């Protein structure tokens, strides 16, 4: 059988068929991958653009400054505060928000609008009358009509009606970088600024699909000639993609990804949406650790005005900064900034966007940049405590990126005075006592200070250590140290509280023996001694506390019972474990300065206890206040009788006026105050706790390693307290309120009522002495007529 070879056409060549199939398959795979990649890019573009576009840091605010009659504007540093808050001084009557005028006897302030957690300040125009010494005498609201122009109610208890200078930003929670923005809509941006940016950055913005082919070809040719990427040819849309989605790495791969994403962005969203996002995204300089992002924030930072109010020259200046913000920043180099601005104006004029007269007028505009330097990290130990409190309620992603506005109780003026007082006090100690100087950071002499409003428990100032950068350990909240004699007033408080409850009638003139004493403790004996190793015999309770006599205080504590003292200490604010041992009366337990501050705040507040308060409110990104659950401990409650608290306060006034704390007067503090020194055995810890009716302050000085400093509370802590409190007295001094259950009698040294040579003493009603030194007809006349 003869086989015939079958002819095949050229199109059926097996080799060519295989190649064709491979090419087709390859194209299909490439197309599939490209399609999948484009779908992925498209999803990425839409997800970010349609979702939450920016991570906004949470800002932490100080307390506002409440204006009230009697406030010393010099000690409150009102002028400096207004400047930090972007108020600018004018010579004529104020007409715009953010202006103030000041003379020797009067101020006018046009407040900024501000949203507080409890209310909104609309931005009132205030007239403030001043005394010769700079104290506020009268406040009027000039925003109202003449008929309504009456003095504002600034009495205590009317705090919501008090005018307030808005709080300052003292810190924030953020991720890798603090991007500060004021988001604005496109219609809030002046057209001239839009025109200026488009002329400089992308003249074909409204006609291209996201990329400019001619510009790209030109850039490719330049880059190939240079052998590297030196020119971008990017459109405004590509700039947004680079800043919004990508990094700044200059590679061919990233440029290709940028171009594709720009096309997709333009495909999915309108030009207006892209432009608005661009104006909110662009970087325009730096304010310390805070990056200035977006036209809204830049307008406020550089010119203290909203974007819509920018002049032609100001708009051109900002447009010129976009290409190199730090190079052309008016803060860095005003002359280079002006030169760049003028180039932008020339471009606008040559393009016919502005007239010749507008061009010439804008060139003459003075660049008067009002740089706003935020007082960030003003109180780092305080801010750490805020984060600690909020960590239980909010995860890091919420705190760092959701734009919360966190309002605190911190008083900026008091905080700065506190930091200065601690720093100066420790330096003075080391200068006068070189043996205290340590060169290893962890061994340095340390100090801590906390100031508390006794009426609310609000922490107004907190210094947790000497240098935060060297040690972040917060000694106010976390250190546990023996308070020494600082604890003694609690023993006397226990005695007076017993009297107030109808028990043994202890009074300031009750006697206790300052004599050697031996107590059996756990099978061993303990014999407390006085600091000077001497004994004074029978003393009144007033004298025993004023002179800080150890044996007299321990003897009194044995009469009262240690368990009763523990109970009172815990009631007024001591939360650390308290062992019911005899040495407790001399402060042998370990407590934090904050605990001692809250205990003394209870005394200053007439026996009403508050928990320490650091937060005053939180506002979410939508401007709505966030309600935080208040536990039972945070509520105020009466824990000790007002009468017993007053007697201890009265005794501690004597400690300052004539006792171990006389240094307060010698160093120049003249206001009403009560206080107590504290020194531990071995001279390891030096304390001073004292208060006025408005402010309680506790100071501790010592070494973290518990070494002896060979100093006392009077020599180490008291000067710091006095230095701080002299600056903290923002208003004229007031007296401690006398409870209804207190009566005063003049008594002589024998404890007998005697009008002629007696000294006035307070007594809980029913415990006062009845024996009188007056006899005969004089006594009869007084009984009959008085």
Which residues are tagged catalytic? 201, 485
What DSSP line would sit under 372-407, residue for residue? ----TTSSHHHHHHHHHHHHTTS-HHHHHHB--EEE
Tokens of residue 711, six digits: 């100093």
Using only the alpha carbons of the chain, give its radius of gyration.
36
CA 19 to chain centre: 73
Cβ–Cβ < 8 Å for 495, 541: yes
Structure tokens at 32: 């599939």
| CB-based contact 512:555 (threshold 8 Å) | yes
142/558 Cα distance (integer angstroms): 63
Q: What are the backbone dihedrals phi and psi of residue 763, each rounded to the nearest 5 degrees, phi first?
A: -140, 145
State the CB neighbour count (10 A cutoff) for residue 86.
Answer: 16
The β-bridge relationship of strands 615-619 and 405-408 is: antiparallel
DSSP annotation of 21 reads H
Question: From CA 527, how far away is CA 583, in angstroms rounded?
Answer: 10
Q: How many helices (H) and strands (E) does the chain have?
A: 23, 29
Do 506 and 541 contact (CB within 8 A), yes or no?
A: yes
Whole-number Å distance between alpha carbons of 570 and 219 = 75
Q: How far apart are CA 601 and CA 307, in angstroms?
A: 47
CB 362 within 8 A of CB 313: yes
* β-pairing verdict for 674-679 and 164-165: unpaired
Q: What share of the chain is helix, strand, coil (3-state, %, to 5)?
A: 40, 20, 40
First-last CA distance in the chain: 158
Distance CA 260, CA 277 (A): 18
CB atoms within 10 A of CB 565: 23
DSSP 677: E
Consecutive H or E run containing 473: none
Helix (H, G, I), strand (E, B) or coil at 576: coil
Q: Residue 654: exposed, middle, or buried by beta-carbon count in 10 A (0-12, 13-18, 19+)? A: middle
Burial class (CB in 10 A: 0-12, 13-18, 19+), 16: exposed
Strands (E) across 704-770 are located at 742-747, 759-764
Cα angle value 234/239/243 (rounded, 5°): 145
Per DSSP, 595 falls in state: H
Alpha-carbon span 415 to 783, nearest angstrom: 55
| CA distances (Å), origin 499, targets 99, 143, 387, 544 | 58, 55, 44, 18
DSSP label at 613? B
Q: At a CB cut-off of 8 Å and minimum separation 6, what does 691 contact?
A: 454, 600, 601, 603, 604, 673, 674, 675, 697
Return the DSSP state at 201: H
Beta strand 99-102 with 88-89 is parallel
Rounded CA-CA distance 320/347 in Å is: 11
Residue 213 has φ and ψ, to the nearest 5°, of -60, -45
């Amino acid at each position: 059988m003869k086989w015939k070879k079958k002819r095949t056409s050229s199109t059926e060549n097996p080799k060519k068929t295989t190649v064709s199939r491979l090419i087709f398959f390859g194209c299909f795979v490439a197309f599939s991958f490209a399609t999948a990649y484009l779908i992925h890019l498209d999803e990425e573009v839409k997800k970010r653009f349609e979702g939450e576009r920016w991570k906004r840091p949470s800002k932490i605010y100080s307390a506002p400054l409440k204006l009230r009659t009697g406030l010393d504007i010099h000690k409150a540093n009102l002028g400096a505060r207004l400047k930090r808050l972007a108020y600018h001084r004018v010579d004529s009557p104020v007409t715009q928000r953010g202006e103030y005028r000041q003379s020797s006897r009067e101020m006018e302030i046009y407040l900024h609008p501000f949203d507080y957690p409890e209310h909104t300040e609309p931005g009132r125009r205030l007239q403030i009358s001043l005394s010769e010494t700079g104290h506020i005498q009268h406040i009027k609201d000039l925003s109202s009509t003449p008929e309504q122009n009456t003095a504002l109610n600034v009495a205590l208890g009317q705090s919501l009606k008090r005018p307030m200078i808005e709080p300052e930003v003292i810190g924030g929670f953020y991720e890798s970088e603090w991007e500060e923005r004021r988001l604005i809509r496109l219609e809030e941006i002046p057209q001239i600024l839009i025109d200026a940016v488009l002329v400089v950055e992308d003249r074909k913005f409204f006609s291209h699909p996201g990329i400019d082919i001619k510009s790209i070809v030109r850039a490719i040719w330049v880059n190939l000639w240079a052998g590297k990427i030196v020119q971008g040819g990017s459109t405004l849309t590509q700039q947004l993609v680079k800043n919004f989605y990508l990094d700044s790495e200059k590679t061919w791969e990233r440029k290709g990804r940028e171009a594709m994403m720009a096309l997709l962005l333009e495909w999915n969203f309108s030009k207006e949406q892209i432009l608005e996002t661009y104006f909110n995204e662009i970087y325009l300089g730096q304010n310390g650790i805070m990056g200035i992002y977006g036209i809204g924030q830049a307008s406020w930072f550089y010119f203290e005005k909203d974007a819509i109010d920018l002049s032609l020259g100001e708009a051109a200046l900002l447009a010129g900064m976009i290409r190199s913000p730090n190079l052309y920043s008016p803060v860095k180099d005003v002359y280079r900034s002006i030169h760049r601005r003028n180039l932008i104006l020339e471009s606008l004029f040559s393009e016919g966007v502005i007239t010749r007269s507008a061009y010439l007028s804008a060139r003459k505009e003075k660049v008067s940049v009002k740089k706003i330097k935020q007082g960030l990290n003003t109180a780092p130990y305080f801010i750490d405590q805020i984060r600690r409190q909020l960590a239980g309620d909010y995860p890091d992603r919420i705190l760092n990126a959701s734009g919360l506005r966190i309002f605190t109780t911190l008083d900026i003026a008091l905080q700065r005075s506190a930091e200065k007082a601690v720093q100066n006090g420790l330096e003075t100690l080391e200068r006068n006592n070189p043996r205290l100087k340590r060169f290893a950071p962890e061994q340095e002499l340390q100090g801590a200070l906390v100031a508390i409003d006794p009426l609310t428990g609000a922490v107004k100032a907190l210094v947790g250590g000497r240098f935060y950068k060297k040690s972040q350990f917060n000694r106010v909240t976390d250190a546990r140290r023996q308070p020494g004699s600082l604890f003694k007033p609690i023993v006397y408080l226990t005695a007076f509280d017993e009297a107030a409850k109808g028990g043994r009638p202890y009074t300031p003139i009750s006697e206790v023996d300052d004599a050697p004493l031996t107590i059996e403790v756990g099978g061993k004996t303990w014999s407390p001694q006085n600091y000077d190793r001497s004994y004074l015999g029978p003393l009144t309770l007033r004298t025993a506390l004023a002179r800080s006599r150890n044996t007299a205080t321990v003897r009194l504590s044995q009469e009262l019972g240690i368990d009763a003292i523990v109970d009172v200490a815990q009631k007024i604010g001591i939360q650390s474990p308290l062992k019911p041992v005899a040495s407790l009366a001399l402060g042998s337990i370990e407590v934090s300065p904050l605990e001692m501050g809250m205990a003394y705040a209870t005394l200053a507040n007439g026996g009403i206890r508050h928990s320490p308060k650091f937060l005053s409110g939180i506002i979410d990104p939508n401007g709505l206040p966030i309600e935080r659950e208040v536990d039972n401990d945070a509520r105020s409650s009466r824990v000790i009788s007002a009468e017993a608290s007053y007697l201890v306060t009265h005794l501690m006034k004597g400690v300052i006026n004539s006792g171990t704390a006389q240094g307060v007067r010698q160093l120049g503090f003249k206001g009403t105050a009560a206080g107590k020194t504290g020194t531990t055995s071995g001279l390891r810890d030096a304390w001073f706790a004292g208060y006025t009716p408005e402010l309680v302050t506790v100071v501790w000085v010592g070494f973290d390693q518990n070494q002896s400093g060979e100093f006392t509370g009077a020599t180490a802590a008291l000067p710091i307290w006095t230095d701080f409190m002299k600056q903290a007295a923002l208003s004229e001094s007031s007296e401690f309120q006398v409870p209804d259950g207190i009566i005063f009698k003049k008594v002589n040294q024998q404890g007998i009522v005697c009008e002629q040579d007696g000294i006035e003493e307070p007594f809980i009603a029913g415990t006062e002495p009845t024996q009188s030194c007056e006899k005969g007809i004089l006594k009869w006349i007084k009984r009959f007529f008085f």
